[in-house]
Structure 1
């Protein structure tokens, strides 16, 4: 398989994973503002906060390869970006499976009790782990070897543009899922009971997510309206910058709503602040700080 096609396949697989993650992330936020959430036992509410943190980690890992490719490799196909995509996808499966199990436990706890809910939730977590990790290892064929991926001297422009648009599609599901639920949350009675500070932070999170979506949709609009669908280096560079810019408000919106949700669930602003800051550090570190440092080091190397 050609290197550019191999990388596109990896990004397409990441899109499949993040489409599943976006549903769980949307539920984490929306569920905490439903009337039934306040009737849950404290242990279930705390587990819901943990699930929100875990799904945020999964989304952070799944978006990392796109920004690494934009910032470090500047859209060029290289062996390292394929390794980063494979590693991040593999790591993201664990928090994704854990979130699925925890969410099922939380919604069943209210109707069937913690013990029964824990059994069902653990069963789903175990099933996911078996099918996503154990089964692939068992089915691995010893006669199938991975073809070493060589760095292309010059990635075709069409491939670079296609990959850039694919990476925008990788990032946008998390933003669109949260934005929709952010709007819905503001119409619930649970939101009306929040302190004014949390309401303002949620509004700021909504604005951050709206900005991220505007930036992520912009490359497709510019490609179609300004460049009439034709590929060019100018469009590739502009689209790449817009995608990188979208990472900051995306991280900000997720972190702010993590604070609001965690503070509401735990009734502790210090816990909410700790979780939100930790999430922001992880996202900014994976998406912007580390790739920028790598790029600076590569540029400084002789």
Structure 2
């Protein structure tokens, strides 16, 4: 049976795989709206691409929550509770990814095959994704459940009780930085590129300023996410210390503050461009910001507060019970 620390590392690596797939679609979704021929798409397709972008940002926010939860709630410790959190957060992300893929296929198919062909392609793509990401897993989960349960029953229950080694803590925090970084990179690439696009010149001055501020915020987030690597090499000389773990944890958490603001700012820009409505753009940006801060800070801090206020369990008596 795999050790708890290995299960958690595998879970973080799996989240990184999902992030890498999501980042490509996020970058494509943002940039597509500024392409010269985007206005030629049917209004339905334009709005669907906004929905697509929203679903992908929701997926990204859920996956990043893993890092925030591990840093804030568990303080970098490997616990069975965090392992359950990984599964609980990753499972729902597969649905918006599948729907987003279907929307992209519909828009591409409609351009080439017409509305009916695009609809068939989009539904088919989303269906295949759902079958492979949900259906196959459900069938196999029930098939192998008895064997997995037997392995868990045979595993050493004390492995979940020990303190996490510093080498594992550092490996996890660096992996969590790599989970967040691709999303920031995807947004950053879009932000730099569109400044040279014709559609950007046509934006209102206020949208240009919001985009510039968002660009600066995402640059700051990216620098913060790269800082632990430089610090580990230069200051710690590659040594694994508790000081570095605390430093890296704080920097990773700090990077989420400007990242959420940058995401929300550019979501405002694209919603205003597509819908032509400032109130709708402000609403979308506010929802994005509240969702990100709620998932990354609100829920973890609330859970940590409950754990802190919970009275400790009384120690077990070492004396045998009298008959």
Q: TM-score range by the shorter chain?
A: over 0.9
Deviation of 1:16 after TM superposition, in Å, equals 0.3
Instruction: Report 1 or 2 for greater relative contact order, CA contacts < 8 Å, sequence distance ≥ 6.
Output: 1
Q: Indicate conservation of the 8 Å contact 1:176/1:213, yes or no.
A: yes
Query: For residues 60 and 132 of structure 2, what CA distance do their matches in structure 1 show?
Result: 20
Which of 278, 299, 302 aligns to 1:269? It is: 278
User: For residues 180 and 68 of structure 1, do their structure 2 counterparts lie closer, same or farther at Cα, with a shift above 3 Å needed?
Assistant: same
Q: What is the 5 A alignment of 1:206-217? A: 206-217=215-226
Query: For residues 12 and 29 of structure 2, what CA distance do their matches in structure 1 show?
Result: 25
User: Is 107-116 or 282-291 further displaced after alignment?
Assistant: 107-116
Q: Determine the structure 2 residue equivalent to 1:157.
A: 166
TM-score by length of 2: 0.91
**Structure 1 position 20 matched with structure 2 position 29:** no
Q: 1:102-140: per-residue Cα shift (whole Å, max 9, x none)?
A: 112223323332221121111110000000100111122
Q: Indicate conservation of the 8 Å contact 1:3/1:152, yes or no.
A: no
Query: For residues 113 and 259 of structure 2, what CA distance do their matches in structure 1 show?
Result: 37
**Structure 1 position 258 matched with structure 2 position 259:** no
Q: Determine the structure 2 residue equivalent to 1:300.
A: 309
Q: Indicate conservation of the 8 Å contact 1:67/1:288, yes or no.
A: yes
Query: For residues 194 and 80 of structure 2, what CA distance do their matches in structure 1 show?
Result: 43
Aligned residue pairs, count: 302
Query: For residues 152 and 76 of structure 1, what CA distance do their matches in structure 2 show?
Result: 10
**Structure 1 position 108 matched with structure 2 position 117:** no
Deviation of 1:52 after TM superposition, in Å, equals 0.8
Q: Determine the structure 1 residue equivalent to 2:194.
A: 185
Q: Determine the structure 2 residue equivalent to 1:78.
A: 79
Secondary structure of the structure 2 residue equivalent to 1:153: coil
Q: What is the 5 A alignment of 1:1-302? A: 1-140=2-141, 141-146=144-149, 147=152, 151-302=160-311
Structure 1 spans left out of the alignment, 5+ residues: none
Q: RMSD between aligned alpha carbons?
A: 1.3
Deviation of 1:164 after TM superposition, in Å, equals 0.5
Query: For residues 102 and 14 of structure 2, what CA distance do their matches in structure 1 show?
Result: 22
